[in-house]
A and B are shown apart, each in its own frame.
Chain A
């Protein structure tokens, strides 16, 4: 069976630096796969490769079994992408941001549809008509998550999705991600939050200096053991 996301011996250079080196993994339908790693490990680069923004030096990335560089448009239409910095427009309100980006995606939504998504991420109603420049980081992140939800794509790529969220919002987000996965969405998230990754992911991959150096999974509905992953993460980071 074809995996929604697959990296095959992926090597990638950015501005002369070898950022990814022979990375291979697959993410199954309805699975939550968390790529864990420190700064500069190549996590965000991996996501950008799946979106076709970066061309592999070697190997390839596939979305629904098709090489991304063979058909970037269908890869992007299948993926909702949540960038690290919740890159949205500060001069627009949440409604305006969502409406604009959904228009670009060719998936316009009604005001009720926008409200439903914003309700799911618990963005206060009074804030929705305010410009994002007055938002906290967490509120911006919630708006960006709402955009990813509204795309209703079979695949989600999440770059540090809980960055800026308070602990309650993080828990709510994890619940939301699990719900989405149970609904069949395939989720690849990158984070350096060991605890968060173990809380939400079905599998965790450890990325270090562009190489996938470890993989952890929990069977039988149990969670991945945080201590084990943390130990591996810390050991390898020190190494």
Chain B
């Protein structure tokens, strides 16, 4: 057995014989197991529920009877964002962004939250997830285990004896590092199991492996920071105090500072605030339900000219359908402009937040974790864009049917009596215009590419901490 592994083995002997350490390990194991099982069950349930709901919503839409096409525009449809497989480890932004949207004509609705699980979150505390345990609690356990790794030898005088046996400070540090590394390897087992399970549910091996690697580097960075403090500092109490402060700073203070700083740097109005501002502009566009709205006079002139007609009654197409289609396109352009602006601002805030990874490895891993799991803000934005495309396409398809398959006269007389109303309906076969919507995470390579900056920051943290350990261990003094 090499000297380095023997030093690591003796560290393990101490840990196993220390009741405090064993108790801490048991608590963390129970927490990890409980949280993993609960989160896996919850996410698996949500995933199957949302998929079923998506299929059910499509079936319901297709099953609608013959109707006036504009009634189907308002009947609407749902788009669901099922959690990706790795959400069972990292639910990410799910809890704060909503996961389903009601799609209808003339509106971009806000994403809604799951109706059943939200109540428990109302206390203001974030739910405990496997990812949050890895990001916050495991570094704390590494501090408990490792803050005195080197110092204990110094304080008890065994450091002098070890060095007097001809061992260098660097070798001792490597032995201690190996001990801590083996602890981290054990910490990784539940995550590896979850990643493997996510692959059985269709997750890409690249994404799962990158997530595991990211957390491994993160915990190694913390382990290296802990060991560096233990080598550099002279007193156990000082080492524990400094490391606990570093943990508080990195895991609790900087993330909140980052949120405040990114919000202060970029003022992003929320959806409701945007909607209020937008209303005024929206009114200028005219009411798509009212074909006689003065806002459509120019359109009317253009269409009449295009078809060589003098009145809208002479047009070969339904003027009301044309107005509905034009109005929807103009309105959507306005809505998309605001939505894109809001999403760009949110993305900029997110980028500023990510920059704080330079001050806290916890921010770097949380950002990489959400991205690799496919539960980040960018994925949510893509969901909003794709569901909006779905909405716009089916609404415009219905408007096209309105314009082409229902003549103007029948349409304007639809409310005269029951027979007129019946005549103004189109065959339900037409509802097949609705596209099937299945939302999934980005391809793995896109997620890895997006997470590369945060992963790089983590590697930077690790390399700096390792460098500090080597420099300090080479000059170790009693």
Contact = CB atoms under 8 A, between A and B. Distances in A.
Interface of A: 48, 51, 53-54, 73, 76-77, 79, 81, 83-85, 87-89, 91-92, 96, 100-106, 147, 151
A60 to B, nearest CB: 18
Given A89-B14, A91-B14, A103 B163 contact: no
> 8 tightest CB-CB pairs across the interface, nearest first?
A87-B157, A105-B165, A104-B165, A81-B164, A76-B166, A87-B158, A91-B17, A85-B157
Nearest to A53: B478
B158 A88 contact: yes
Interface string B119-161: 0000000000000000000000000000000000000111011
A89 B159 CA distance: 11
Contact of A87 (B3, B7, B156): B156
18 contacts: A53-B477, A76-B164, A76-B165, A76-B166, A79-B164, A81-B160, A81-B161, A81-B164, A83-B160, A84-B157, A87-B157, A89-B156, A91-B17, A96-B13, A104-B3, A104-B7, A106-B166, A151-B165
Nearest to B18: A91
Nearest to A90: B156
Contact of B161 (A48, A83, A103): A83
Given A91-B13, A100-B6, A51 B164 contact: yes
A87 B160 CA distance: 8
Contacts of B7: 104
B471 interface: no
Given A87-B160, A101-B162, 11 more contacts: A48-B160, A51-B160, A53-B163, A76-B165, A84-B157, A88-B158, A89-B156, A96-B13, A100-B10, A101-B161, A102-B165
Nearest to B155: A87
Residue from the set A53, A54, A73, A77 with the largest chain B CB neighbour count within 10 Å: A53
Nearest to A91: B17
Nearest to B167: A104
A11 to B, nearest CB: 18
A91 B163 CA distance: 20
Contacts of A96: 13
A88 B161 contact: yes
A51 B18 CA distance: 32
Residue from the set A73, A85, A104 with the largest chain B CB neighbour count within 10 Å: A104
Contact of A53 (B13, B156, B160): B160
Contacts of B6: 100, 103-104
Contacts of B167: 104
Contacts of A104: 3, 6-7, 162, 165-167
A157 B115 CA distance: 76
A184 B438 CA distance: 86
Interface residues of B, number: 22
Nearest to B14: A91
Given A91-B13, A104-B3, A83 B157 contact: yes
A98 B7 CA distance: 14
A143 to B, nearest CB: 12
A73 B14 CA distance: 28
Given A53-B160, A81-B160, A101 B165 contact: yes
Contacts of A92: 10, 13
Contacts of A106: 165-166
A51 B163 contact: yes
A100 B153 CA distance: 14
Interface in B1-26: 1, 3, 6-7, 10, 13-14, 17-18
A16 to B, nearest CB: 14
A134 B157 CA distance: 18
Contacts of B160: 48, 51, 53, 81, 83, 87
Contacts of A83: 157, 160-161, 164
Nearest to B10: A100
A105 B13 CA distance: 19
Nearest to B7: A104
Residue from the set B13, B14, B166 with the largest chain A CB neighbour count within 10 Å: B166
Contacts of A77: 166
A147 to B, nearest CB: 8
Given A89-B14, A103-B6, A76 B157 contact: no
B3 A103 contact: yes
Residue from the set A81, A87, A91 with the largest chain B CB neighbour count within 10 Å: A87
Contacts of B166: 73, 76-77, 104-106
